[in-house]
Amino acid sequence: MGSSQTGEARNALFNTIKSADSKFFDAYNRCDLAGLGSMVSDDLEFYHDQSGLMVGKEPFLAAIKQNICGKVQRTLIEKTLEVYPLKGYGAVEIGIHRFRHPNEPDNVGDAKFVIIWHEVNGAWTVTRTISYQHNEGLLAK
């Protein structure tokens, strides 16, 4: 953050994005596709190191329904969370998240991520996501 932003503004943005992340992935973990869809832009670009590029809200939600619902739970490794402003647009969120497979207790792994959040009139939506470095074990100790 630039020197013109106060620590208070940085903390407010950090807390706003951390809260948005929590709301987004709560919907993800509960397979609340309507809730998840309300937080994703129609032109979402989702980049995944193993499955490539997916464009659009509907393909994203279909993939969540098919591949995630009831199969995977995501948690944020909070100590890895970084948030930076994107002037006139929103914010970028960077961190590591952990994936657990409830039916396979030993199947746990981390991945790094970048999420671009767009803010319009106080509403935050995900417009771009990059999720990478999967299947390399636990990245955050």
pLDDT tens digit string along 91-127? 999 999 999 998 888 888 999 999 999 999 999 999 9
Q: Which two tokens stand for residue 35?
A: 């809730």
Helix (H) or strand (E) holding 24: helix 7-30
- DSSP reduced 3-state for 62: helix
pLDDT for the residue numbered 135: 75
pLDDT tens digit sequence for 19-45: 999 999 999 999 999 999 999 999 999
Domain extents for the chain? Answer: 7-132
For 48, the 3-state DSSP assignment is strand
The answer to whether residues 123 and 95 touch, using CB atoms and an 8 Å cutoff, is no
pTM of the full predicted structure? Answer: 0.90
CATH number for the domain whose boundaries are 7-132: 3.10.450.50
Q: What percent of the chain has pLDDT over 90?
A: 81
Give the Å distances, CA to CA, from 15 to 56, 66, 94, 114. Answer: 27, 31, 14, 17
Residues contacting residue 80 through CB under 8 Å, at least 6 positions apart:
95, 96, 140
